Amino acid sequence: MRVRLDHVVIAVSDWERANAFYGEVCGAEVVALDDPPTHWRYRFGDQVLNVHGPGMSPGPVARVRVAPGNSDLCLVWPGPIEAAVGHLRGHGVEVEQGPVERNGAAGPGTSVYFRDPDGSLLEFISYA
């Protein structure tokens, strides 16, 4: 038996701001979960970030609930890391650290670190 990761949960404080950031900056498909939309999830290929945010009462939840700004996520950048830096700067997102060498799920790579609007730490790793 081989278990694999299906989704993880993040929390945001403002749907409009987070949807724009994760869609435009991180390249997620922003998926509305009801009509009219009151909550969303962020799809990256066959992985998903479930999102807890304003107006929701999700359950079950972790003993210490995920809160806006307390996540730490790594996303695979599909090209050279220099392009990721240019992409972030083009969206007015500050690179906090990097490029730096890191080891990810696929082995050695190069990463840059930045933050979402709530302060969660995000990383783009490039294996190019």
The catalytic residue positions are: 123
123 within 8 A of 74, measured Cβ to Cβ = yes
Closest listed residue to residue 39, CA positions, set 21, 62, 7, 12: 12
| 118, two tokens | 């709530």
Q: Which residue matches tokens 């996303």?
A: 75
Beta-sheet strand order (sheet of 97-104): 72-77, 121-126, 107-115, 97-104
Task: Work out whether the CA dihedral 109, 112, 114, 116 comes out positive or negative.
Answer: negative
Residues 6+ apart with CB under 8 A from 100: 110, 111, 112
